[in-house]
């Protein structure tokens, strides 16, 4: 064991750096899904579409503004503003005109409504943005790279990958935790997450909270997409792959748990990058193995609370 570490310690260090940035991206998407699930009790399959649309919108707004001569540094605020825009438009639209009609229905029906929405939005993306890969990398290029020492050698990492992605994840985590614990609206959201019936009985305007939470969740999904757009080429189908991983994060984390989502994303991000170094063929199943192991030990998820059994 000690010998193994001597041989591979440096590689493990690299895997750690890679894992952090991928964990950051996983977290941003999953935390939005988890928040929405906690409050609305809907597994929003279309969260993946919002991620994809966020990515596409950020890239095309970025390309458009760059054409107008926007300086390079502005590309990072542009990413955030695009995501906010996508969330602010699509979030209320979806919540008001679709989800609001089905809150009274069974869980499976709600799930399917978002599944149907997902199918529709998949084709909408194709009609709007076409099928050729789209990319806009100014943000990544502008920040440049940093050489990380690796024994006698060095490895260039992009600053974007090393600092921006984990940085945004940490800001989101801290900001959310503060918002949920310290502000009135935040506390109301927590109250609805913990006990919906009691909260509404106490006179909380559930409709308003639902709209707010869903819009915020949509923004987070779009932000995840927007932040991925400087490094990834956007093609049809990116939403489907993102959402299935987020499902695993949400179930592992415990419903509505922000810190749980952060810890789970970290485990999955690190697990995957370690796998790429030492057993690449395992990479794809790592998140599911983590999920099953966690749920074996903690059936309600990492940070989940056991619901009182009602008679």
Partner 1 sequence: MTTTLSRREVIAAGFGAVMLPSTLSAQPAQKPAELKIGVTTFLSGPASVFGVPSRKACEMLIDQLNAAGGIAGIPVRPIFVDEGPGTDHLVGEIRRLVQSEGVHVLFQSISSGSCLACTPLSRELQKVNLLWDCGTQRIFEENRWEYAFRTQGYGTSEVLAPLLYLLKKKPDFRTVAVLNQDYAWGRDSWELWKTAMDALKPGVRVVAEMFPRFGSTDFSTEITRLLALRPDVILSTSWGGELVTFIRQATERRLHERSMFVLPVAEASMQILGRSMPEGHIIGTRGDHWNNHPAPKDPAAFNAFINAYRQRFNEYPIYPCHHMAQAVWALKAGLEKAVAAKGGAWPSDLELANAFRGLTFPTPTSTITLREDGQGLEDQIVGLSSFNDRFPFAVPKEMMLFPGEQVSAPVGQKSTDWLKTLQPSMIQSAGRSI
Partner 2 sequence: MRKIEPLLAILLAGAMIAAAIAAPWLRFVLTIALAKGIAVMGILLLLRAGQVSFGHALYIAFGAYTVAFLAPRFGDAMILLPLAAVGAGALGLVIGLFVTRYRQIFFGMLNLAMSMVFYSLLEKLYAITKGSDGIRVEIMPVAGQALDRITYEWTIFGIALGLAFVLGLLLRLYLASPMGEALAGIKTRETRLEFMGVPARGVLLSAYVMSAVLGGIGGALIAMTSRHVTPLLAYWTSSGELVFIAILGGAGGVLGPFLGAAGYELVRVYAAASFADAWQMILGAVLLLVILFAPGGLWGMAARAIGGRGR
User: Contact positions toward partner 1, by CB under 8 A?
Assistant: 11, 14-15, 17-19, 21-22, 25, 122-123, 126, 130-133, 135, 137, 140-141, 145, 150, 153, 155-158, 161, 228, 231-238, 241, 272-273, 276-277, 280-281, 283-284
Q: At what angle do helices 184-194 and 2-40 cross, to 10 degrees?
A: 90
What are the beta bridge partners of residue 241? Answer: none
Q: Which stretch binds partner 2 (CB under 8 A): 21-29, 59-67, 84-92, 296-304?
A: 296-304
Q: Which stretch binds partner 2 (CB under 8 A): 20-28, 53-61, 87-95, 97-105?
A: 97-105
127 contacts: CB under 8 Å, gap ≥ 6 = none
Q: Which stretch binds partner 2 (CB under 8 A): 22-30, 83-91, 99-107, 261-269?
A: 99-107
- Kindly state the smallest distance separating residue 54's Cβ from partner 2, in Å: 20
Beta strands in 137-218 (DSSP E): 145-150, 153-158
- Kindly state the smallest distance separating residue 237's Cβ from partner 1, in Å: 5
Tally the residues of the chain: 311
Q: Which residue among 52, 251, 258, 262 contacts partner 2 (CB under 8 A)?
A: 251
- Kindly state the smallest distance separating residue 257's Cβ from partner 1, in Å: 25
- DSSP-derived pairing of the beta strands 145-150 and 153-158: antiparallel
> How far apart (Å, rounded) are the C-alpha atoms in residues 193 and 201?
14
> How far apart (Å, rounded) are the C-alpha atoms in residues 286 and 188?
36
Kindly tell me which of 87 and 287 has the beta carbon lying closer to partner 2: 287
């Amino acid at each position: 064991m000690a010998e193994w570490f001597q041989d591979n310690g440096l590689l493990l260090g690299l895997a750690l750096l890679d894992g952090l940035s991928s964990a950051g991206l996983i977290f941003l998407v999953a935390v939005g899904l988890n928040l929405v699930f906690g409050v609305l009790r809907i597994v929003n399959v279309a969260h993946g579409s919002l991620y994809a649309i966020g990515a596409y919108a950020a890239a095309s707004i970025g390309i458009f503004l760059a054409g107008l001569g926007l300086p390079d540094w502005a590309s990072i605020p542009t990413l955030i503003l695009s995501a906010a825009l996508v969330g602010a438009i699509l979030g209320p639209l979806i919540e008001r005109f679709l989800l609001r009609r089905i809150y009274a229905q069974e869980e499976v029906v709600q799930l399917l409504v978002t599944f149907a929405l997902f199918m529709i939005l998949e084709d909408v993306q194709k009609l709007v943005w076409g099928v050729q890969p789209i990319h806009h990398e100014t943000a990544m290029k502008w920040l440049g790279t940093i050489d990380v020492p690796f024994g006698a050698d060095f490895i260039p990492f992009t600053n974007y990958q090393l600092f921006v992605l984990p940085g945004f994840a940490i800001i989101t985590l801290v900001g959310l935790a503060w918002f949920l614990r310290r502000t009135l609206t935040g506390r109301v959201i927590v109250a609805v997450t913990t006990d919906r019936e009691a909260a509404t009985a106490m006179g909380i305007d559930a409709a308003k909270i639902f709209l707010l939470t869903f819009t915020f969740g949509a923004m987070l999904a779009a932000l995840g997409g927007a932040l991925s757009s400087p490094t990834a080429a956007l093609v049809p189908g990116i939403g489907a792959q993102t959402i299935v991983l987020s499902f695993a994060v949400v179930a592992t984390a415990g419903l509505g748990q922000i810190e749980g989502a952060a810890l789970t994303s970290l485990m999955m991000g690190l697990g995957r990058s370690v796998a790429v170094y030492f057993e690449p063929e395992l990479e794809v199943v790592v998140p599911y193995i983590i999920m099953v192991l966690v749920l074996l030990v903690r059936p309600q998820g990492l940070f989940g609370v056991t619901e009182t059994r009602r008679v």
